[in-house]
Structure 1
Amino acid sequence: MRNADAGTVAELVQRQWGDHRVGLRDHGLALSHHQVAAGAAARAALLVDLVPRGAEPHFGVLLDNAPEFPLWLSAAALAGAAVAGINPTRRGPELARDILHTDCRVLVTERAHLPLLDGLDLPGVRVLVTDTDAYAELLAPYAAAEPGEATLGPVGPGSRLLLYFTSGSTGAPKAAICSQGRLAAAGASLVKHFGVREDDVHYICMPMFHGNAVIADWAPALAGGAGVALSRRFSASGFLDDVRTYRATYFTYVGRAVQYLLATPERHDDRSHCLRLGFGTEAGAVDAARFEARFGTRLVEGYGSSEGGAAIQRTPGTPAGAIGRAGPGDDLAVVDPGTGEERAPAVLDPGGRLVNGAEAIGELVNRGRSPFEGYWRHPAADAARTRGGWYWTGDLFFRDAEGFLYFAGRGDDRLRVDSENLAAAMIENILARWPDAAGVAVYAVPDPVAGDQVMAALALREGVSAFDAAGFSEFLAAQADLGTKMAPRFVRVLRQLPVTATNKIHRVALRREGFGGGAAFHEGFGADEVWWAEPGGSGYRPLTGADRAALLTEYREHGRENQL
């Protein structure tokens, strides 16, 4: 196993120079580690010439998982620049806002994503389209560059390398900062934890604009001298074929990816591959066990805030349903968000159901040293995240008497849908345009398998007697800025929205009631109408008693009934 320790990611890229083993694989392409380092050096030199003097050394990458993505990550490290991962599910002004907020003066994209940029006002942003002759001609003069020759300034452990977006309760996504030193340390830690070898192949099928793919997959491969293989986008049907083709040994996942893999037809050769480990979040104990039984590959569940402030890893002996205990160096506690006092230990019945949720559930905080490096140009969010000297995750947990931590939901108005962090306020702003709505509140309800689903509570305006499901579907389809994960799965139609004494929407009450009517998920939904977009269906239809029973069964099968 290679010595993975390095002070910067730039050092790790420079180590690839002269290594002629295959380092980067894509369908129809294989580059050696040396070629990756050479390609990164060329792009770093080009970047130095393109970024105006005095500008922030930032550029955006709006790409699928194409070879250009890791090449530009490596180039950023060499040049002392920072990459803003631009999410292609964002639309219109919100997409433009992400690019401009992070002070990108260059945007690297591909022809497939050019329609997303149509009509956007991006002053001062140079767009490079990687799969064009013009791009090849622009890059050609820099082919002889070597690592370390061209930089935008001093390169050290504190140099910004990643600006990746995470959502919170304030509306617009915030760009979390990750330095070269933190990313290099994260890669080295995973190399040691999982025993990454030089002959390993890390399969990257999660989107590289997301921290999971870069921090938990690309970084340990780079630190351990392993190869990287790419899937442009996650494909459940193509996963096993890719794993075999690339002889992949390791992959990462988030959200429902594991469930999608388990939903593929079983094959006689499901265990015929080299894959030995998957590392990620939100698969759940039930599906992790099913995955290992079917594919013979162990899944290691972990929890880590996108900003790096707290981490939990599942270890042998972790009870079913638990995430694990605190990671090395963390002092994690579950506290009352208002007072900071620790919550009572969880009491679980013989079936594992939490019986004292009111006393046990609180916000997870890290009271120890936190590697959180802040948000780009958002001091108020920095202060809120680190108030009182603690790192506040914004996520709800409970903790049993043995110290094992259990995820209980997202705090405030956060939602995590298919591994995407969303802010309820942004979805509300879009839904509020619907002419029939007098009021809108968006909140998370637990997904039966992993993460959340979007619930929209709608109060109809005076004179509208009934919810127009077809009209609502047509309205959603016409909203250009409604991202692919934002459309509500459930719509709860209310006579009026609950409010607090100060006339604010009573979000706590809505989240507590979930699907409607207090504890009515087990007893019926009360008088409120609930509609839903059934997976695989078309449009919205009423949620029936049979639908509720089927959903409850699904929650129980995946060990998530506690979250209702």
Structure 2
Amino acid sequence: MPLFHSNAVLAGWSVGIGSGAAMVPAAFSASRFLDDIRRCGATYMNYVGKPLAYVLATPERPDDRDNPLRVAFGNEATDRDIEESARRFDCTVWDGFGSTENAVIVTREPGTPRGSIGKGLDGVAVYNSATVTECPAAEFDAAGALINADEAIGELVNTHGAGFFSGYYNDQEATDERLRHGMFWSGDLAYKDADGWIYLAGRTADWMRVDGENLATAPIERILQRLPALNRVAVYAVPDDHVGDQVMAAMVLQDAAELTPEMFEEFLAAQPDLSPKAWPRYVRIAADLPGTATNKILKRELVQQGPTPGGGVLWSRRDRRATGTTSGEEGGYVVTG
């Protein structure tokens, strides 16, 4: 992790200082990951974004568990990445959620449901930014699909105020944007169930409107990540030819994995909690996705590129309106690039 980022300072450097341990400078490489861990005798690592997914894409070896690593701590790993990393490398993976400003903190408690990031500390809530009121609890159908997204999805806030946040350096306008109505507004969309478990829905810019229905990207990504052939995925909106948005998914497959349009359609049809309107209209299969220095996927760059192969292959699905139906099972994917 680069030391300009709060994760490296709070979850890396300060851990080394507090425990009296050595901190090893290293450039991240998925293929050299275990070699670096063994060479340095590292017992702890911190991460943000998709490094665990990168590592898991490398071929598994019989001696992967033979390493000194005890704990990996970070955020934004998927359930599958957490479980597979723990199994493959014989370590504990603690994945939490916290805003860079340390104003909104969510922890995974024992019993956290799959897909949830846990429960928030006192004061963490989901609010409607227009009405400045707390959103109602999420409701699900028998298949587990969210049925009241318009009402339940809102912005993660700290109702107690700024928490540990004291403001952005020399940027009062940005500070004021975060601190409104006596609360800290994170910019992260989420929903909370009746038991208080929080589920991310993306950033505030990740809303899309497809055929008159509001959709959030993160729930779609969580469903697509059930696909064994998939290593990383980003779901985002691209403009519809007529009005609103269409769903696009940029995907990186596991090493040596095979996925055809027919296999992908079969998978989509088997997901009972995936709305037909949430089926990706465009699918990019690429060797990698654009990322930041902290291994986060750069969705804004993907959005700017639009429905293009981006150096990979693009699958396009026939417009459902051309068939006079809203069923996701109509049309079929064709390779267009």
- Give the structure-2-normalised TM-score: 0.68
Aligned residue for 2:50? 256
Q: Is the 8 A contact 2:138 2:193 kept in 1?
A: yes
**1:325-404 maps to which residues of 2 (within 5 A)?**
325-327=119-121, 330-349=122-141, 351-369=143-161, 370-404=163-197
**1:193-212 maps to which residues of 2 (within 5 A)?**
206-212=1-7
Q: Deviations over 1:88-140 (max 9, x none)?
A: xxxxxxxxxxxxxxxxxxxxxxxxxxxxxxxxxxxxxxxxxxxxxxxxxxxxx
2:247 maps to 1:514: yes
Which residue identity lines up with residue 339 of structure 1 in the other structure? T
Which residue identity lines up with residue 277 of structure 2 in the other structure? A
Aligned residue for 1:47? none
Task: Choose the corresponding residue for 1:280, options 56, 69, 74.
Answer: 74
Deviation at 1:532, TM superposition (A): 3.4
**3-state SS in 2 of match to 1:348:** coil
CA distance in 2, matches of 1:545, 1:241: 43
Aligned residue for 1:409? 202
CA distance in 1, matches of 2:66, 2:52: 18
Which residue identity lines up with residue 176 of structure 2 in the other structure? A
2:19 maps to 1:224: yes
Distance 1:294 1:533, change over 3 A: closer
Stretches of structure 1 that go unaligned for 5 or more consecutive residues are 1-205, 415-443, 458-491, 499-508, 547-551, 553-564
CA distance in 2, matches of 1:322, 1:336: 20
Distance 1:451 1:262, change over 3 A: closer
Stretches of structure 2 that go unaligned for 5 or more consecutive residues are 208-215, 226-230, 250-274, 289-308, 319-327, 329-337
CA distance in 1, matches of 2:61, 2:78: 23
Deviation at 1:538, TM superposition (A): 6.5
CA distance in 2, matches of 1:306, 1:361: 21
CA distance in 1, matches of 2:312, 2:62: 38
Q: Is the 8 A contact 1:282 1:451 kept in 2?
A: no
Aligned residue for 1:535? 287
Aligned residue for 2:84? 290
Quote the RMSD (CA, aligned, Å).
Answer: 3.0
Deviation at 1:413, TM superposition (A): 6.6
Deviation at 1:219, TM superposition (A): 1.1
Aligned residue for 1:213? 8
Deviation at 1:409, TM superposition (A): 0.7
Q: Is the 8 A contact 1:515 1:521 kept in 2?
A: no
Count of residue pairs brought into register by the alignment = 256
Distance 1:259 1:399, change over 3 A: same
Which residue identity lines up with residue 225 of structure 1 in the other structure? G
**3-state SS in 2 of match to 1:543:** strand
Q: Deviations over 1:242-301 (max 9, x none)?
A: 111111111111111111111111111111112111111111222211111221111111
CA distance in 1, matches of 2:312, 2:45: 36
Q: Deviations over 1:458-486 (max 9, x none)?
A: xxxxxxxxxxxxxxxxxxxxxxxxxxxxx
Deviation at 1:210, TM superposition (A): 2.0
Deviation at 1:349, TM superposition (A): 3.9
Q: Is the 8 A contact 2:12 2:45 kept in 1?
A: yes
> Which one has the largest radius of gyration?
1
Q: Is the 8 A contact 2:125 2:157 kept in 1?
A: yes
Which residue identity lines up with residue 381 of structure 1 in the other structure? A
CA distance in 1, matches of 2:97, 2:186: 11
Which residue identity lines up with residue 210 of structure 1 in the other structure? H
Distance 1:384 1:345, change over 3 A: same
CA distance in 2, matches of 1:349, 1:405: 17
CA distance in 2, matches of 1:373, 1:409: 25
2:234 maps to 1:234: no
CA distance in 2, matches of 1:403, 1:454: 26
Distance 1:311 1:531, change over 3 A: closer
Aligned residue for 1:439? none
CA distance in 1, matches of 2:310, 2:134: 46
Which residue identity lines up with residue 539 of structure 1 in the other structure? G
Greater helix proportion: 1
Distance 1:348 1:291, change over 3 A: farther
CA distance in 2, matches of 1:262, 1:402: 32
Which residue identity lines up with residue 534 of structure 1 in the other structure? A
Which residue identity lines up with residue 135 of structure 2 in the other structure? R
Deviation at 1:543, TM superposition (A): 1.6
CA distance in 2, matches of 1:386, 1:224: 34
Aligned residue for 1:93? none
CA distance in 2, matches of 1:455, 1:321: 19
CA distance in 1, matches of 2:234, 2:84: 23
Aligned residue for 1:307? 101
**3-state SS in 1 of match to 2:112:** coil
**Please, which moves more after superposition, 533-542 or 337-346?**
533-542
Deviation at 1:335, TM superposition (A): 0.9
CA distance in 2, matches of 1:538, 1:409: 23
Deviation at 1:351, TM superposition (A): 4.7
CA distance in 2, matches of 1:373, 1:225: 28
**3-state SS in 2 of match to 1:514:** strand
